[in-house]
Amino acid sequence: MKAAFRDAGLSALVALGIFGAMVGLRIDTGHNILIARPWAVAILVAATFVFRFALVLWKARIPKALTRPAKLTPARRNTARYVGIALLVVAATLPLFGGRYAIDTGIVVLTYVMLGWGLNIVVGLAGLLDLGYVAFYAVGAYSYALLAQTFGLGFWTCLPLAGLLAAFWGILLGFPVLRLRGDYLAIVTLAFGEIIRVVLLNWTTLTGGPNGISGIPRPTLFGLTFTAGGGEGSFADFFNIEPSVTQRLVYLYYVIFGLALLTNWVSTRLRRLPLGRAWEALREDEIACRALGINVTVTKLTAFAIGAAFGGFAGAFFATRQAFISPESFTFIESAIVLAIVVLGGLGSQLGVALAAIVMIGGGELFRDFNEYRMLIFGVALVVVMVTRPRGLVSGRTPSVSLGKTQIISGDMVSQGHG
Amino acid sequence: MMATPLLSVNALTMRFGGLTAVDALSFEAQEGQITAVIGPNGAGKTTVFNCITGFYRATSGEISLQHAGGAFQLATMQGHNITRQAKVARTFQNIRLFAGMTVLENLLVAQHNFVMPDVAHGLLAVFGLGGYRGLEKTALDRAVHWLKQVKLLERADEPAGSLPYGAQRRLEIARAMCTGPALLCLDEPAAGLNPRESDELSDLLISIRAGGCAILLIEHDMGVVMRISDHVVVLDHGKKISDGTAEHIRNDPHVIAAYLGEGDEGLDEVAA
């Protein structure tokens, strides 16, 4: 009790230090005067005190609540399945009952779900920490944009090409990092992401530099364009809001929905096949893999390539949705968000990644009215989730094959990989 | 008995900087036999293993392997090909199972090269092509066969990390056997086992030998070594000090001196 009091007091003091200047003083730009806001500070400090006090007491009362591994019962497994089916139904029918805003948000969320699933192959299954995933997203986007602009190719022709090119760059990144692990791997992949962005920014003759590429053609449905009001000048006025914009939006929604489902299907299927099993084995113990005759080099490169290919698909979609891309869209923060989705969702868990994407991207939309506090709420929410569920939202691992009844393996038994 | 040896190590030397861990070591292992490598701690036994299985690149010397599948120079082969092509499997002194994967999955990963001959097959399998189903079934049958051999069939769907220590040792041997080896290298398989488990291990190794797979064994448990070995090689400070049958080793004054000098607990058993 006394310790809790002291701890809370200390936290309150820290809060006073932080908020005293940041919240307590405000510059009124209109009159050029400094306004003191002691009450706001008092409330924040008091809240910190109470929160910390309660937290310490709660932790003392149930000492093992935070460290006890989650029990995995069949009931929980069924819950996971029902949640998955419910999400699928909602996602499939969203355009029927959602407005334009909902559909637009849905498209963004699904893009991140797809990116999350793609990165999950590299980080979640193969256990290779990749901080530069946005590079493949960028390669996909620029591949489509440039192919479409230079050769006049359509979206559906370019989509596989964008995936292939991204996979190629995935392999190219894979080679130098084969021997690296952990922090070193993370740093090199991060640098790779930045290199791609800087090249896009400076290779002005090819990419248009900071001006980006505009007028990227929209996807067509068997040759039908989604530009309303006559075919001519279909991308001259793409910023205008047209009557049929909703149709195009719905179409885009189903395109990304299909792409995301494809990603999910391929990665869940691969997990049950030798290649996916080798990735997971690699995450568990690389040396043992080698001793079993598995070519570690090839296995790592396939993980990078296939993960990158889905990043490339998502990038091509991003380009066609925006109709305009510039290096600004492919900064490190994008990699960080996608990685956060994978980690928050639970490494290797498809459902977890989808949930995390909804929470992180959709939730971000919900809090849009809070303006500057949005990132604060976001950060706090992340910390809370990671403290209470250190292995992510869905942490168990489902075995890829079984003789009898499938049992979910508790998350703390599964290795997270060494990079 | 004097047929071409399965494994022949010739003047193998391994240096780490100034330290010579293995010094011009030569020995042979015959097909269908259990060859034990013994010696005091730090004698270089595990280093020899790591050279044979490609985890270390030997400073000099030759390691050649010859069986029905062909002749191989292990010292110059890539690590994974030593298992894949030359058919040498190994276990580790400190168990290296895939702890978060089930017992069955561990055995299937071991058959990776069988179910997925190359990347193209691995990708075709996504669409159900490339004859994957048949291969997977064969692999499962083989896994079940070895699960029965090591008495782990009931625990096939449990994570490998949750098995008791002795069972993990057995599983690691089963996993190595699933790669279909001609030579099985075991690094202290009896370490940490109780006497009953050691006896079971001996029986398992004898049955593996009966199945036609030669075994190279590092072991400190002299009971196991003396009982099952056809041939014993004794190392001390990276050099071979004795080589012969268990009976011969037991009476060799060099061996007794090496163990006496090191004050090893194995002395009584060796001298007995």
**Burial class of residue A128 (count of CB atoms within 10 Å of its CB; 0-12, 13-18, 19+):** buried
Mean pLDDT of chain A: 84
- Name the residue of chain B whose CA is nearest to A293's CA: B80
What residue numbers bound the domain in which A103 lies?
95-342
Q: Are residues B135 and B193 in the same domain?
A: no
Check CB contact under 8 Å for B132 and A289.
Answer: no
Distance from CA of B157 to the nearest CA of A (A): 6
Residue A365 maps to a domain: no
Residue with tokens 């908020």: A19
Q: Are residues B162 and B206 in the same domain?
A: no
Query: Which of A24-33, A81-90, A157-166 has the highest average model confidence (pLDDT)?
Result: A157-166
Q: How far is CA B211 from CA A108, A158, B180, B229, B271, in A?
A: 59, 55, 11, 16, 32
Q: What pLDDT was estimated at residue A418? A: 61
Distance from CA of B263 to the nearest CA of A (A): 33
* Number of separate domains in chain B: 2
Q: Are residues B243 and B167 in the same domain?
A: no
Predicted confidence (pLDDT) per residue in B81-123, tens digit: 999 999 999 999 999 999 999 999 999 999 999 988 888 888 8
Strand partners, B62: B10
Residue A370 maps to a domain: no
Q: Are residues B136 and B69 in the same domain?
A: no
* Number of separate domains in chain A: 2
Which residue among A284, A287, A291 sits closest to B99, beta carbon to beta carbon? A284
Kindly state the tokens that stand for B125: 């399998």
Q: Are residues B123 and B140 in the same domain?
A: yes
Residue A317 maps to a domain: yes
- Measured between alpha carbons, how far is A255 from A317 in angstroms, rounded to an integer? 8
- Chain A positions touching B115 (Cβ under 8 A) are 274
- Measured between alpha carbons, how far is B33 from B177 in angstroms, rounded to an integer? 16
| Of A410, A278, A122, A295, residue with least CA distance to B106 | A278
Secondary structure element (H or E) that encloses residue A274, with its range: helix A274-284
Residue A68 maps to a domain: no
Q: What pLDDT was estimated at residue B266? A: 52
- Chain A positions touching B128 (Cβ under 8 A) are none
- Name the residue of chain A whose CA is nearest to B105's CA: A401
- Measured between alpha carbons, how far is A415 from A60 in angstroms, rounded to an integer? 29
Residue A7 maps to a domain: yes
Inform me whether the C-beta atom of residue A164 falls under 8 Å from chain B C-beta atoms: no
Q: Are residues A39 and A179 in the same domain?
A: no
Residue A242 maps to a domain: yes
Q: Are residues A26 and A114 in the same domain?
A: no
Q: Are residues A210 and A256 in the same domain?
A: yes
> Alpha-carbon Rg of chain B, whole angstroms?
19
- Chain B positions touching A278 (Cβ under 8 A) are 109, 112, 116
Q: Are residues B83 and B198 in the same domain?
A: yes
Q: What is the mean pLDDT of residues B256-260?
A: 79
Q: What is the mean pLDDT of residues A264-282?
A: 93
- CATH code where residue B32 lies: 3.40.50.300
What residue numbers bound the domain in which B127 lies?
96-180
Secondary structure element (H or E) that encloses residue A28, with its range: strand A25-28
- Comparing A12 with B175, the larger pLDDT belongs to B175
Check residue A409 and give left, alpha or beta (phi > 0: left; psi -120 to 50: alpha): beta
Which residue among B104, B110, B122 sits closest to A403, beta carbon to beta carbon? B104
Distance from CA of A323 to the nearest CA of B (A): 33
Predicted confidence (pLDDT) per residue in B17-43, tens digit: 889 999 999 999 999 999 999 988 888
Residue with tokens 């058993």: B269
Q: Are residues A56 and A164 in the same domain?
A: no
Q: What is the mean pLDDT of residues B180-204?
A: 93
Inform me whether the C-beta atom of residue A179 falls under 8 Å from chain B C-beta atoms: no
